[in-house]
Structure 1
Amino acid sequence: MTTKPPDMSEATRLTRAGRLSEATALIKRLLGVNVPPQPSRESAPALAQPILDLVAEVVSPPTPAMNKAETQPQSATPFSKSPIDPPTHQRAPSVLAPDPARYSGETFSNAAGKRTYKFYRPSPAHTGPRPLVVMLHGCTQSADDFAAGTRMNFAADDHGCFVAYPEQIPSANPQKCWNWFQTGHQSRDRGEPSIIAGIVQHIMSQHDIDPRRIYIAGLSAGGAAAAVVAESYPDVFAALGVHSGLACGSARDLPSALAAMQGRHPPHTPRQSAPIPAIVFHGDQDTTVHPRNGSDVVKSASAGGTYVSEIEQGRVPSGRSYARTILRDNSGQSMIEDWVIHGAGHAWSGGSTAGSFTDPLGPDATREMLRFFLEHQLAAKAN
């Protein structure tokens, strides 16, 4: 008598039964990820919901004593659990914002739920309606962690931009991942996209925000969520930034999410019919979210457009080399930028070691994203 090998339907059954650790292990084996067999539910201790975005390489700048090999991030096992917050207790306010008094915690709620968010107000020296940048953290991160690692508040202050950092809650996802892979959080006026858009509307009601210059960016699961929100609200967001993330529509459940992260999903079909200005960063040695996903974000954002492409090669002094592909429209406007960072893993390029998931050796993704964002604005609405 032969035994039928398990398939994705068995993984789905285990997921629905709440046996998440067993489901995740089975999915990894089906995808070819080398993991040891899991003990049965009866003999295993209770485990948290699997993390869909958690492996970080924190890379310190090289010192004279370090050779070339030592400056590379250590390869991490895909989907392995590792704490990412440095054991340095609470971060000093000085690493979060140029003026900590202008960085505060806020709360927003609607029918889909309640979320806190951190909010940075630029220097009062900047007058008139100002841009707003929404930043979505990755799994296990916090708003403060993401602010410290990206240093977006410092870059934004130079240009008079407001910055909002919505924060996921453990009750929505135990590992604080944005639920980009669930169908209930993939469309306009539903789930987490509606909360994030609602935070924007709330901020606009309280501050002098330029409605034509609102942008959204994120890292990994946050990047995937940012792509969903930007495609769901093209009338709100003027441009999108995705770092080490996935395209909108890459997954519909846990099995397809893990397959997409491994780069083992069907060719991506863009959902929207109009282009979305987007800047994409992805390390070509990312073992957590396959680099193919960066290409899918570009394909999705550029759908429906006609472009002339150019490629630039560069290197950060004493750091990483990179390739930057620019897609320009008929007017010469840069509509898509695709940055591939050579040798980089799953980490925010050019970030600060004050936060997690950062690679100081790469080009400054924060400054480049903000530069790209400010080149774009929504068309003026007809009276």
Structure 2
Amino acid sequence: MTPDFQQLMRNATRLTRTGDLQAATAAIQAALAGTAPAPTPPAPRAMRDMADVIDVVARELPDTDVTTPPRPAANDAPGTGRFIAGSHSNAASRRDFKLYIPPGAGERALPLVVMLHGCTQNPDDFAAGTAMNELARAQGFFVLYPAQSQQANPQRCWSWFKHNHQARGRGEPALLAGMTHEVMAAHAVDPERVYVAGLSAGGAMAAILGDAYPDVYAAVGVHSGLAAGTATDLPSALGAMKGGGHPLRASASGVATIVFHGDADSTVHPVNGHQVITASAGTASSVEVEHIATAGGRASTRSVHRAPDGAVLAEHWLVHGAPHAWSGGSTKGSYTDARGPDASAEMLRFFMAHPRRQGH
């Protein structure tokens, strides 16, 4: 861990103990984002109930506007597909999004990949860094990029560590699943091939979505994230980021999951990647381990977890020497590591091998 990250963690812990939860939350957001927190005024009063406080740090007012129809983005070009902007609302809140529509969309049902950005990022930045639109153009699938609002979180982190944003039908998971359904209804999307992936806070929220909505998302990609239920409040979030938490699920979810995590990640401890895999595949699966060396790039260890019938349940890519960044990403976006194996391509390969299982 870097000294700056450790200092942010110590500050957050100290502020939690003194009851200044607003400042403590700013510290954890800064730790996730890798930045120094802006000064925060003292909390107006002592907070007795930590579970309630964590939900009101960034208040969000219900938005009564109807859903905004998607509109073309300014950077569309002939033959490259379309990258359009829109928004989705439910009774509680609203979020903007960007949607990549590949050339030839509408001729047949295509897969959909939902991409959840990390703290301080936005859809355009995440699309540039992961180069997922380029893969979508070449291989033919939709890409949905939900945008976290600064009203909901000042540094645009998804609320993975808040207990009321971790279950089906509640909070951000309900909003994101609703947004996914809206896109599916508006476009020719194959309902058996809908997937979700994310980075850091987005990766943690992707794990929550896969756990809460296995009937919507056929497989999950978690990059530098945490398992669903690892944290339910600020103190447990701090602990999980520093050294892993205690996921609530007692048994494996069975949701097909691929994990990328750098073993030099000083923001989210690499043990969290192992916990994501355990939450998905359990401990009874057989494991095949492969060591991969790349000329001029980072070496990695790929562990494939199989069910007794040989079906692949999960993949874990531990990228050696990699920081808290999207492996194999483009320098056009933030939080990317161009030297690593291509997480976007590997996640896409894994996704396409895992259509939604019957009964889900």
The secondary structure found in structure 2 opposite 1:51 is: helix
Which structure: greater helix fraction? 2
2-structure distance, mates of 1:200, 1:125: 17
2:141 alignment partner in structure 1: 161
111 and 51 in structure 1: CA distance in 2 versus 1, 3 angstrom threshold:
farther
Report how far residue 49 of structure 1 moved.
7.9
- Structure 1 residues 1-383: aligned runs within 5 Å: 11=16, 14-16=19-21, 18=22, 20=23, 23=24, 50-55=29-34, 80=36, 93=75, 102-124=82-104, 127-263=107-243, 265=245, 267-270=246-249, 273-303=252-282, 306-380=284-358
The whole-number CA distance in structure 2 between the counterparts of 1:366 and 1:286 is 19
SS in 2 for 1:262: helix
Q: Secondary structure at the match of 2:297?
A: coil
Deviations 1:258-309 (A, max 9, x none): 11100154x4443565311000000000000000111110111113x85221
Give per-residue Cα distances to partners, 1:11-69, cap 9 Å, x unaligned: 155244x4x1xx46xxxxxxxxxxxxxxxxxxxxxx788435112xxxxxxxxxxxxxx
Q: Secondary structure at the match of 1:120?
A: strand
Q: Which runs of 4+ in 1 moved over 6 A?
A: 6-10
What is the number of equivalent residue pairs in this alignment? Answer: 316
The structural deviation recorded for 1:241 is: 0.2
Name structure 2 gaps, 5 residues minimum.
1-10, 39-73
Deviations, residues 166-188 of structure 1 (Å, cap 9, x unaligned): 00000100000001000111111
Q: Which residue of 2 aligns with 1:3?
A: none
Q: Distance in 1 between matches of 2:28 and 2:265?
A: 23
SS in structure 2 opposite 1:237?
coil
- Deviation string, structure 1 residues 201-229 (Cα, Å, up to 9, x no partner): 10111011111110000000000011111
Asked if the contact 1:52–1:177 (Cα under 8 Å) also holds between the matched residues in 2, the reply is: no
- The SS at the match of 1:362 is coil
| Identity value in percent | 47
Contact 1:12 1:255 in 2 (8 A): no
Which runs of 5 or more structure 1 residues have no equivalent in the other structure? Answer: 1-5, 25-46, 56-78, 83-91
Aligned partner of 1:307: which letter? S
Secondary structure of the residue that 2:229 maps to in structure 1? coil
* Letter in structure 2 aligned against 1:103: F
TM-score normalised according to structure 2 size = 0.81
CA spacing shift, 1:109–1:100, aligned 2, 3 Å:
farther
Using the TM superposition, give the Cα deviation of residue 351 of structure 1 relative to its aligned residue in structure 2, in angstroms. 0.1
Kindly report the root-mean-square deviation, in angstroms, between the aligned alpha carbons of the 2 structures.
Answer: 2.7
Q: CA deviation at 1:332?
A: 2.2
C-alpha distance in structure 2 between counterparts of 1:369 and 1:299, whole Å: 18
Distance (Å, rounded) in 2 between the aligned partners of 1:143 and 1:176:
11
The alpha-carbon distance between structure 1 residues 130 and 343, as it changes in their structure 2 partners (threshold 3 A), is same
Match of 2:3 in 1: none
- What displacement does 1:334 show? 1.7
